[in-house]
Amino acid sequence: MKRSLLPWLVVATVLLLLFPMAAEKFYLQLVTKIMILAIFALSLDLLVGYTGLVSLGHAAYFGIAAYTYALASQAADPANVWLTLPLALAASAAAALLVGALVLRTSGVYFIMVTLAFAQMAYYFFHDTRIAGGSDGIYINTRPDAHLPGLDLADDLHFYYFVLALLAIVFALLAVVLRSPFGRALQGIKANEHRMRALGYATLHYKLAAFVLAGTIAGLAGYLAAAKEGFVNPEMMAWHQSGAVLMMLILGGMGTLFGAVLGAFSYVLLQEWFSTLTKHWQLLMGGFIVAAVLLLPHGLIGLHRLRIKSRAPRPEGDGD
Amino acid sequence: MEWLIQILNSVQYGLLLFLVASGLTLIFGIMGVINLAHGSFYMIGAYLAFTLSSLTGSLWLALPLGIVLAAALGLLLEWALISRLYRRDHLYQVLLTFGLILIFEELRSVLVGDDVHSVAIPAVLGASLPLTETLSYPVYRLFISAVCLALAGLMYVTIQKTRFGMMIRAAASNPEMATSLGLDIRWIHALVFAAGVALAAFAGMIAAPVSSVFPGMGNQVLIVCFVIVVIGGIGSLKGALIASLLIGFADTFGKVLVPEFASIAVYLLMAVVLLFRPRGLFGRA
């Protein structure tokens, strides 16, 4: 299964590397945005697809890192990436640790509702207090500076490759983590938590570690989103955001890293397409989501799997 | 005396939330479906009150009409979509009902627009009770509390004391056994779902004159109701009632005492309950 996706992965990487040569500014920015959301979707995939924890509040960690970065870079000079990025990631990780310790006491449908409720708490915290511009949000005047020779993040093309590199790093990191004993234990927890506990695994600690790791990676996506837009507001943590990223996973196919990335691309492109058709694109999106749940139980990746399955029993294959 | 007003407001808000939360907790307790679109039914109720009362000229005509329409919508949705979710993972229930929210919000925008509307308080209940020389309390809010209490009582009697209630409880505790004893589970599910929709819509309708009618009103209520269900324990009506009142007080007094942190107070309450009772106050272990 994994092997059969490898060529696609190579093709996708090459396409993304070459894409800026052919693209106008609008599309360059669009794909940058999609790659940021792909990082976000990958982080949620670790929880939903691999550990079996359906979080409906993942946007909180996305937003907390974005806000941390925004608050830390209010000076006129560009903020230093090597200072603000660790700070933003630490803020998201700390929030995920605190919330995770509470929400992991519950499971199943409670878990869904409680993660949503805590995300909403973060939302209201930034919405109702004047810490960072309240419901209006705040502007960030400059893109951060990575202080690397030849790299100017204020340039959209440089920023594109910066995001692409981080997407590749996150993808590789998760691929390694999932092959490690830790990752195997998470997948064991998804399949049968009782058995894992009986085997002597402290499943709560594993789940908490996954929750914090996922929150931190979501924070990376949030940091990049804030740096790209130069603007943060509470809507970044709104539950529509958490729902949308969950939809990306389902669309692409959860429990596969490639599916998460594919889902981010399909979701945003679909959204762009719908919004060119009508002002009321949400109607189409809602209808599409309902139809996808009823008709596509395994996501787009599932179509690929289906094709392989329908081929397998045939005595003579068609060559590949 | 100001405190009395705040207490009355807390009770009224809490009881109103109970109407929405009770449907949510029953639908989960009996069908095992987590319904994100439940807040939309509250929103639909409020917009029905606005549209129907401007068409018919009276909230009293709008209420029964709205309830019938909401129940019909509930039956239709259950038959077309929700019934397909009973055996599926919570994840898909979340997504499908999330899709429904987008549809309902956008339909609302297409049909009624994005403006904030208000609904007039019926003339009969327009008076205020004088408490002191300067303070008074609107009769309509007392009416809301009374109606909600009556409905809560009705719900209790229906579920605990009637034959239909017995069927509902049987279907909730052991669906296979209930089916083999000749109960038509599908029919019970459809009725419970429709009742939940009607209750949430009714809450929206009677709240419309005091809260006004605005986009996004459903989501706000939905998330507070999630908190209520978590605090009260899933499937427990008693828990939902007590948690609703707790939230009513936390929110109302939060707004008076610490305005900036009032929205957070509700979630802090939930965090504390989770620390000591992860399954809620009345949840089944």
**8 Å CB contact between A248 and A37:** yes
- Amino acid B84: pLDDT: 87
- Amino acid B100: pLDDT: 94
The strand ranges marked E within chain B are 128-130, 136-138
Asked if residue B108 is part of any domain, the answer here is: yes
Asked if residue A13 is part of any domain, the answer here is: yes
Asked if residue B282 is part of any domain, the answer here is: no
Which band of pLDDT confidence, cut at 50, 70 and 90, is reported for residue A317? very low
Asked if residue A165 is part of any domain, the answer here is: yes
Give the span between the Cα atoms of B84 and B93, in whole angstroms: 9
Asked if residue A320 is part of any domain, the answer here is: no
Domain that holds residue A152: 2-311
What are the CA-CA distances from residue B43 to residues A78, B74, B214 (Å)?
45, 14, 8
Number of domains in chain A: 1
Asked if residue B284 is part of any domain, the answer here is: no
Number of domains in chain B: 1
H helices of A192-254, where?
Answer: 193-198, 203-229, 239-252
Report the range of poorest mean pLDDT among A131-135, A298-302, B190-194.
Answer: A298-302
**8 Å CB contact between A109 and B88:** no
Asked if the model's pLDDT at residue A169 lies above 90, the reply is: yes
Q: Which of A75, A68, A81 is nearest to A141 (CA)?
A: A75
Q: Which of B139, B144, B120 is nearest to B50 (CA)?
A: B120
Facing residue for A54 by CB, picked from B90, B105, B223: B90
For residue A118, give the chain B residue with the closest CA.
B267
Q: Find all residues with CB under 8 Å of A194, minimum gap 6, and list them.
A: none
Tokens representing residue B155 in the block: 């719900």
Determine the distance from the C-alpha atom of residue A190 to the mean position of all C-alpha atoms in its chain, rounded to a whole number. Answer: 19
Using DSSP's 3-state secondary structure scheme, residue B138 falls into strand
Asked if residue B184 is part of any domain, the answer here is: yes
Tokens representing residue A242 in the block: 């958490």
Q: Which residue has the tokens 């209006």?
A: A136
**ipTM of this model?**
0.85
Asked if residue A168 is part of any domain, the answer here is: yes
- Amino acid B200: pLDDT: 94
Which CATH number fits the domain that encloses residue B32?
1.10.3470
Asked if residue A50 is part of any domain, the answer here is: yes
Q: Is A267 in the B-facing interface, judged by CB distances under 8 Å? A: no
B118: left (phi over 0), alpha (psi -120 to 50) or beta: beta
Tell me the shortest Cα–Cα distance from B124 to chain A, in angstroms.
37
Q: Which of B267, B282, B275 is nearest to B232 (CA)?
A: B282
- B270 vs A261, residue with greater confidence: A261
CB contact under 8 A, B261 and A128: yes
Q: For A260-278, how does the pLDDT look when each residue is reduced to its tens digit (9 = 90+)? A: 999 999 999 999 999 999 8
Asked if residue A129 is part of any domain, the answer here is: yes
B38-59 mean pLDDT? 91
Which CATH number fits the domain that encloses residue A17?
1.10.3470
Binding-face residues of A in 201-240 toward B, CB within 8 A: 239
Determine the distance from the C-alpha atom of residue B95 to the mean position of all C-alpha atoms in its chain, rounded to a whole number. Answer: 21
- Residue B110 phi/psi, 5-degree rounding, is -70, -45
Most B CBs within 10 Å, among A102, A104, A120, to test the B interface: A120
CB contact under 8 A, B230 and A113: yes
Asked if residue A317 is part of any domain, the answer here is: no
Rounded-to-10 torsion of CA A210, A241, A106, A65:
50
Q: Which residue has the tokens 């605090």?
A: B231
Asked if residue B95 is part of any domain, the answer here is: yes
Q: For B23-47, how does the pLDDT look when each residue is reduced to its tens digit (9 = 90+)? A: 899 898 888 888 999 999 999 999 9
Domain that holds residue B228: 2-276
Give the span between the Cα atoms of B113 and B105, in whole angstroms: 10
Asked if residue A319 is part of any domain, the answer here is: no
Asked if residue B283 is part of any domain, the answer here is: no
Q: For A45-92, how does the pLDDT look when each residue is reduced to its tens digit (9 = 90+)? A: 999 999 999 999 999 999 999 999 998 887 777 788 888 999 999 999
Q: Find all residues with CB under 8 Å of A74, minimum gap 6, and list them.
A: A138, A140
Tell me the shortest Cα–Cα distance from A25 to chain B, in angstroms.
30
